[in-house]
Amino acid sequence: MKDMEKLSIVKIGGNIVEQEEALNRFTKSFAHLEGRKILVHGGGKIASKLAGDLGIEAKMVNGRRITDLETLKVVTMVYAGLANKNIVALLQANHCDAIGLSGADGDTIRTVKRPVKTIDYGFAGDMTPTSIHTKRIQSLLELNLFPVFSAITHNGEGQLLNTNADTIASALAIGLASSYAVSLIYCFEKKGVLSDIADDHSVITEIDQTKYTALREQGIIADGMIPKLDNAFDAIAQGVKKVIIKHADDLADEHAGTTIF
C-alpha cells in the first residue's frame, strides 16, 4: 500500500493569539513547517476583553463559553474577523499561502446547537460525525492553500455557532485521518502538560489514559487542559497518528512537549 501523505493540523491557543511578539514568532515557524498543513486558532482572551469593554460579562463553564446573542456577535467579530485576518496576513507575509475560513465558508464545518441540559450554553456548536466537509478541505489543500480556521461554525440554516477551537482541531484531524497521516499539535504558552503547573521544566513527556485519569483526580491536570486532553485522546482513538501538546515556540522541535498515546 502507498504511504499516506502527511498532514499537520496545528492549534494555537488564545494566549499566543493575543501577544504580538509570540504570534509573530509562531506564524513564522508555522510558515516554515514542511508539507500540507492546517491552522486552527482560538482567541478567547481577546473576546473576553472586548466583551468586557462593551459591558457584556464573559461567562465560562467547564472551559466553554456561554454564548448568548450579544456574545455571539462579539466572538464572530473577534475570531472570524480580527484574529483570523491578522493571522492570515502574518502568514502571507511569511510566504505561506493561507486562506482564512469559518466553518460557514465553503460549508467546511457544520455543527448543531448544543442541546440545553442542566446548562444552556446558548449559541455553542457541537460536532457530529458528518461535521467536517473533508472533500472540500482536501480540495483546498490540493490547491496548495493552507486553511486557517477560526472557532466559528454554522448549522447550515443561517445560524453561526461558537465552537471550542481545541474541538475543531481534533474533529478536523479525525475527519482527515482516512486520507492523510495526520499529526495534531496543540501549541500554547507552556512547555507541555506539566506535573507542577508552577514549574515549566516539569513536562510530562508521555501520557496515556490511565496516567491522565490519575493526574486529573489529583487536580494536577485542570481547567482548559481537561477539554484539550479529552480532545487529544478522542483523536488518538479515532485514527490520528500523533498528538502532541507543546509550547508555541517549539513547533519546529520534534522532541519537545507531551506526546499522547
Ligand X SMILES: Nc1ncnc2c1ncn2[C@@H]1O[C@H](COP(=O)(O)OP(=O)(O)O)[C@@H](O)[C@H]1O
Residue positions annotated with a catalytic role? 11, 14, 44, 166, 228
How far out from the chain centre does Cα 247 lie?
14
Q: Give the C-alpha distances (Å, rounded to integers) separating 15 from 44, 121, 170, 224.
A: 8, 23, 19, 12
Is residue 187 involved in binding ligand X2W (CB under 6 A)? no
Which of ligand X, ligand X2W, none has residue 124 at its interface (CB below 5 to 8 Å by kind)? ligand X2W
Cα within 13 Å of Cα(31), Cβ side: 19
- Kind and range of the H or E element at 215? helix 209-217
Tallying the residues shown for the chain, one arrives at: 261
Three cell numbers written together for 213: 485519569
Is residue 37 involved in binding ligand X2W (CB under 6 A)? no
3-state SS assignment for residue 241? coil
Total residues in contact with ligand X, by rule CB under 6 A: 18
Question: Closest by alpha carbon to 163, among 76, 224, 257, 53?
Answer: 76
Q: Which stretch binds ligand X (CB under 6 A): 65-73, 84-92, 144-152, 193-201?
A: 193-201
Three cell numbers written together for 214: 490519575
Contact 79, 69 (CB under 8 A): no
Residues 6 or more apart whose Cβ sits within 8 Å of residue 85: 100
Q: Which stretch binds ligand X2W (CB under 6 A): 39-47, 99-107, 136-144, 192-200?
A: 39-47
Least distance CB 156 / ligand X2W (angstroms)? 18
Q: Which of 221, 244, 248, 251 contacts ligand X by CB under 6 A?
A: 221
- 86 belongs to an annotated ligand binding site: no
Site for ligand X, residues 53 to 82, rule: CB under 6 A: 63
Q: Which of 162, 231, 258, 259 contacts ligand X2W by CB under 6 A?
A: 162
- Kind and range of the H or E element at 72? helix 69-75
Site for ligand X, residues 14 to 53, rule: CB under 6 A: 14-15, 42, 44
Least distance CB 63 / ligand X (angstroms)? 6
Total residues in contact with ligand X2W, by rule CB under 6 A: 15
Residues 6 or more apart whose Cβ sits within 8 Å of residue 221: 193, 212, 215, 229
Least distance CB 14 / ligand X (angstroms)? 5
Residue 31 or 83: the one with the smaller Cβ distance to ligand X2W is: 83
Q: Which of 42, 100, 175, 257 contacts ligand X2W by CB under 6 A?
A: 42
3-state SS assignment for residue 52? helix
What is the C-alpha radius of gyration for the chain, rounded to an integer number of angstroms?
Answer: 17
Show binding-site residues for substrate.
43-44, 65, 162
- Tell me which residues touch ligand X (CB under 6 A): 13-15, 42, 44, 63, 188, 190, 193-194, 197, 220-225, 228
- Tell me which residues touch ligand X2W (CB under 6 A): 13-14, 42-44, 47, 64-65, 75, 124, 151, 162-165
